[in-house]
Structure 1
């Protein structure tokens, strides 16, 4: 019986015995029999480079990171990429598995995970031309757009040595106690470079048609299987949609999958897109499960288990994919960064308490590309498990948190988790602060989930939440709090008194616009091209923008309708057909008709959006370009009139932009009225966090971490 047949038989045998509390996700928590071993459920934490892998002295921290997710109930985990040799480094002196000393370091990880009844695989990743060092190699000497180094073409001898290096790395991984390895064959790394005509221009037996281009991958798997034996998991992460010029067709992908199965692969994992692709694959604007049908198409043609991946972040989505037969397993990386207890919460029927990954990339992938340690915007403990510790308080204290934005909610939850008596005051009728503006931006619907998570945690932890409650210093002092945490956030910076006409009724702050309380005309000027200016421009032009009423926003279960997968693919030029025959699955994008004409302006010269985050900024710039936004840099704002806004352009010429509205996105100002003044002697100890502490460009990552760190220390 093959692995899939065994798994299906196991599912049928066990469905009637699934515990009642797991009735929502019976397929997700059914074991998967691989023949020689069994996965306890279908939840897999996928590979994600944290920055801890590259230095042996960080392996204690890395072990704690994996142990936390093993305790959280995940069935299997895959490490960040470990190189089989020096040429394969991502960065100089990157993480490797080459020696017995490497084995000793990696044993810390495997022992930590196995204590909690989970399995762990080591990913073997050769960066190829994506490496950021002078030793880079590739099938052909074609420079990557994301590395400054031109690769050397691999000789036949070099190829054979690299295949041997993969087998040696897998053998050492087995000695280190790993349950298997994942061979990274997607995202544009070395093996993917061999598989695709995009980079492989070779004329020898490792190039040409798909049979030649797959030879390197197949021989690697064969060598690994021969070295490690049959009772060892080999996962191959296969690029199912290249999204680059001269990428593979689905017929070629299937041919590779079938050859890999024959070579000894246990599970095929899904990879989508190359890092250099100009189609987003994991940012928050990508619809959930946008690529599951490609995994399903491959699954139809092989008999080994197939794993779905990319933008799967909640149990009901994962359950549907497994239940419908699109895949046998679900890979999630960032969702388990966001909540290490994701699996246990889902299994216990507590999905509403999952700290959902919002796919912002701000603290994970952006950190990776900046060569920093990864963490998570919504979970600052991620990768800091041994440093940011929420110990039970020896002496519970009375704590007030003033402000119900993400900084205040973070502080309140951590303080309550530690055993303090916490009261949270919010002057408005809803929790969420600035997130209430962000969540209405098209493509940022996931931000609703963060507010849902905090609202439910506050209730679960017994925090006293007082909405519609403005506080003053006298009230705080009279209440005898031991600690007062000021999380009053920011207000939009006004241009009244600074720019003539800024007080006119058609001039709105971004907060007034996003509140949905005002009618907006057909032509709009946006002052300020930071992150908020880009968000506002997308809000004003996107076809699927929804104006949300107070009644909608007051309903905790309400979620605006996100862009559909079909609409998203049409806009970005991705095939609608899972059995695609276009190279790389690309089609000509279908531009949208924007709702409005928008002018996005900034004072500084040069390209707009230079300060946006690395992994998402290019998506925002592409969006506003496709939405017809007119970008103007190097301007001086003269005055606003009933006709529009007068500016002096970069050439020094004065001109009138005839617009119906002017939206001001010119930064924010901290609200710190409640902080004690010099000379005061308050009874409580005061702390200031988030936007109230620093009103720079809105930074939820900093705000949530501020709240957690302050609450962890009181």
Structure 2
């Protein structure tokens, strides 16, 4: 991972006198805590923290201009003077921060205020409430509510509502507004023939793109007229909608050109509708996968501008600044985009949840210390879509700036405890820290997990360097150290001996170790199928496959269709077999995620880079870039119904589609029992629907049927009872059920701070987030419907 020295310096915007900072936009896309109006104090702290990290332009999550545009009932809106007054705490928090322009050669402007933009979002038929409206009455596949078609008067009222919200935003201190015109929301619904082609007979719909684009252009024109030239207007424009019968590239360029003429300052790019069946931001999307249409947009606008201004004495026909978005999580990726003139600005949302100091670290030539977003969605979007406060798997502090003074989590407890003054010895039985992340990083599409391990290693290094340089490692809150002991398999006797207290000659007491935090993780659950003992090379655990690289045949039964079962299946179909010793020891300056092929991704998911077909979809649909896999998978689960139904809210469908697209996976739900391994090594099971036994001819059976707490220490000796007041199991060692990295990292980080404050006792140290208002509301709605 390199450092950013050029390319992100301040960029002058057309029509705006003051330069923007650092060419990076914090775009929250409803990940941040402002989903409801009562969270404005938290929202203020959230954005102030990003400003302190060196971000020059921040855009809020979606704020509705009226109740019809709500995301859900009583969602964030800005429609009254009272609401406007409450927003001032947000803008003041951002504008109070003075930060440098990184990379600027100007000495006359060494510091500048960050800017904050209010996004005006009308969800249209995507709204989760009974008041939804749209261009037509077609119901969205992702909302249970059928929309009413806006009348001509309704359109004018909506335009007036946008203008009113923009005016209130200015009064509240916002530097501009972003008009959400992409991702399938209301404006997209007017622009696209997918949702506006047949029902409307007025000047706002039908086959004519001039009619379909009339609403957004009138809206932008009205906002500019009422707010003046010195007010920033960003328009979020869809480049590839990734849905059938979406906008064509010609129509996209017509819209972009018209928006330029209407005085839009920035064109922020959007990729895909929410109902699209192509992933756009998850971890399996290659870095910068959607910069291709962004570069084409910028190039064509520049060419049009040059042509139009060739007969003018003064070239004032500037194009809007263009923003690249989606899966840009590393300094190298961002710098390449800017240096190659793909865009003028970079938009980041989740990477700044993971590390709000991303910019500072990049420009201080310390990119290795960045806590990189791994694109998992587990704690951000998955939370947001069920009404929980969004956070971050690798940084539990995100969106909790006012709740806890937490620092970014890595090796959660050890690092957090050391940073607040405790000396930590970390005992690891293998030759490398990182635990099960070393298995996860081998799964195709999860290469970003390399970054988490890299961050943890460098975080420990920085903690120790800081403690050494300051001369403080005394456990008194001034900075401790983390001593890592690899290839050390601790026993209870070892722990007891290291906890022994003694007396100095002066009468003082010495204690070697005060407390033990046991984070030994989990073990695969062995369901022990009769006959498996006769075929030890055929019946494997997921650890055998992913960590120990044991040979696997061409016909494989995967027992268990949870996250691990899907990971193993994708690894067996698309993964690389490597030498066993390499799995946990390979070090590389380049994360494998940076080398994932964008072209292969486009083929696999049916994306058309030629932009010849509507919506950016390939004419022939998805194709396997390297041909059909040579292995057949039988993915089995006890539950009836959809296989993998319990996977992540925003990513589960991607994993299911990835396996189905291979045509080499057979889903077998409703297994009543796994009866035996017969004399030929085949799996015999009973189908719950028919009650009949079935024989599955396979070469290998991989057990992915859950996990158990790794409690070797606890079960290995009764002497553990002597340490009962000093031992704190966390993560999988505490409870394996429904374990994920999000919970484990959060638990470790919180425990460190609880111990530091003497606010915890063994056996009473697990911290569960309470159910918030948003989640209660979502649960109520689901019940009500």
- Which among 632, 636, 646 is matched to residue 684 of structure 2? 646
User: Larger Cα Rg: Structure 1 or Structure 2?
Assistant: 2
Q: Which residue in 1 is equivalent to 2:769?
A: none
What is the distance in 2 between the residues matched to 1:497 and 1:703?
A: 30
Q: For 1:407 and 1:64, locate their aligned partners in 2 and report how far apart those are by CA, in whole Å.
A: 19
Q: More displaced, 266-275 or 605-614?
A: 605-614
Offset from partner CA, 1:194-253 (integer Å, 9 cap, x none): 110011132321113211111111111111111111111111010000011110111111
Tell me the TM-score normalised to structure 2 length: 0.83
Correspondence 1:430-449 to 2 at 5 A? 430-449=432-451
1:80-127 Cα deviation digits (max 9, x unpaired): 000001100001111111111111111111111112231110100000
Name the residue aligned to 2:134: 138
User: Quick one: structure 1 residues 54 and 280, their matched pair in 2 at CA, closer, same or farther if it must change by over 3 Å?
Assistant: closer
1:150-229 mapped onto 2 (5 Å cutoff): 150-201=146-197, 202-208=200-206, 209-229=208-228
Distance 1:269 1:252 in 2: 17
Q: Deviations 1:282-330 (Å, cap 9, x if unpaired)? A: 1111111000011111111322210000011001000000100010000
Provide the secondary structure at the position in 2 that maps to 1:80. strand
Q: Distance in 1 between matches of 2:526 and 2:712?
A: 18
Deviations for 1:645-702, whole angstroms, at most 9, x for unmatched residues? 1122242222221111110101111113335969934386321111111112441110
Q: Does residue 464 in structure 1 map to residue 494 in structure 2?
A: no
1:657 is matched with 696
Match of 1:607 among 642, 651, 657: 642
SS in structure 2 at match of 1:268: strand
1:568 aligns with 2:601: yes
Q: Which residue in the other structure is 1:270 paired with? A: 269
8 Å CA contact retained: 1:246, 1:584: no
CA distance in 1, matches of 2:406, 2:286: 34
Deviation, 1:136, is: 0.3
Aligned to 2:316: none
CA 390–420 in structure 1, closer or farther in 2 if over 3 Å, else same: farther
Pairing 1:476–2:495 present:
yes
Matched, 1:47 2:28: yes
> Where does the alignment leave 5 or more consecutive residues of structure 1 unmatched?
1-21, 392-405
**1:36 corresponds to:** 17
Q: Residue 387 of structure 1 corresponds to which residue in structure 2?
A: 403
Evaluate the alpha carbon distance shift between residue 655 and residue 424 of structure 1 in structure 2; reply closer, same or farther with a 3 A threshold: same
State the Cα distance separating 1:407 from its structure 2 match.
8.8
Q: Which residue pairs with 1:713 in the alignment? A: 754
Matched, 1:128 2:166: no
| Corresponding residue of 1:633 | 669
Rounded to whole Å, the distance in 1 between the matches of 2:42 and 2:712 is 40
Partner of 2:734: 693
CA deviation string 1:57-93 (max 9, x = no partner) = 3211111111111111111110000000110000111
| Pair 683,507 (structure 1): closer, same or farther in 2 beyond 3 Å | closer
- In the alignment, what sits opposite 1:25? 5
Answer yes or no: is the 8 Å Cα contact 2:244–2:614 preserved in 1: no
Query: How far, CA to CA, are the matches of 1:499 and 1:32 in structure 2?
Result: 72
Aligned counterpart, 1:335: 351
Distance 2:76 2:218 in 1: 23
* CA shift in 2, pair 1:353/1:118, >3 Å: same
Give me the whole-angstrom Cα distance separating, in 1, the residues matched to 2:615 and 2:345: 27
Alignment of 1:11-410 (within 5 A): 24-34=4-14, 35-50=16-31, 52-116=33-97, 117-201=113-197, 202-208=200-206, 209-302=208-301, 303-390=319-406, 409-410=411-412
Q: What is the Cα deviation at residue 386 of structure 1?
A: 1.2
1:185 Cα shift?
Answer: 0.5
Contact 2:27-2:347 at 8 Å conserved across structures = yes
The structural deviation recorded for 1:583 is 4.0
- Unpaired stretches in structure 2, ≥5 consecutive residues: 98-112, 302-318, 465-481, 499-511, 756-785
2:531 and 2:69 mapped to 1: Cα distance?
Answer: 56
Please report how far the alpha carbon of residue 429 of structure 1 lies from its aligned counterpart in structure 2 after TM superposition: 0.8
Sort the Cα spacing of 1:66 and 1:498 in 2 relative to 1 into closer, same or farther, 3 A: farther
Contact map agreement 1:267 1:307 (CA 8 A) in 2: yes
Does residue 616 in structure 1 map to residue 616 in structure 2?
A: no
State the Cα RMSD in Å: 2.0
TM superposition shift of 1:478: 3.0
SS at match of 1:423: strand
Name the CA shift for 1:713/1:548 in 2 (closer, same or farther; >3 Å). farther
Deviation at 1:408, TM superposition (A): 8.2
Q: Does 1:427 align with 2:463?
A: no
SS in 2 for 1:598: strand
For the residue of structure 2 that corresponds to 1:280, the secondary structure is: coil
Give the aligned partner of residue 492 of structure 1: 524
Question: After the TM superposition, which residues 575-590 of structure 1 pair with which residues of structure 2 at under 5 Å, given as runs?
Answer: 575-577=608-610, 579-587=611-619, 588-590=621-623
Query: C-alpha separation between the residues in 2 aligned to 1:200 and 1:407?
Result: 47
Give the TM-score normalised by structure 1. 0.91
Is 1:644–1:658's contact at 8 Å kept on the other side of the alignment? Answer: yes
Residues 338 and 345 in structure 2, CA contact (< 8 A), matched pair in contact too = yes
- 2:178 aligned counterpart, secondary structure: strand
Query: 1:536 is paired with a residue of what secondary structure?
Result: helix
Distance 2:121 2:178 in 1: 8
8 Å contact 1:285–1:444 — kept in the other structure? Answer: yes
Q: CA deviation at 1:546?
A: 4.3
Deviates more, 1:33-42 or 1:289-298: 33-42
Secondary structure, in 3 states, of the residue corresponding to 1:275?
Answer: coil
Equivalent pair of 1:87/1:128 in contact (CA under 8 Å)? yes
Match of residue 505 from structure 1 = 537
- CA–CA separation in structure 2 for the residues paired with 1:683 and 1:478: 14
CA contact under 8 A between 1:32 and 1:41: conserved in structure 2? no
Corresponding residue number in structure 1 for 2:454: 452
CA distance in 2, matches of 1:548, 1:409: 26
Q: Distance in 2 between matches of 1:314 and 1:493?
A: 37
| Structure 1 position 174, deviation (Å) | 0.7
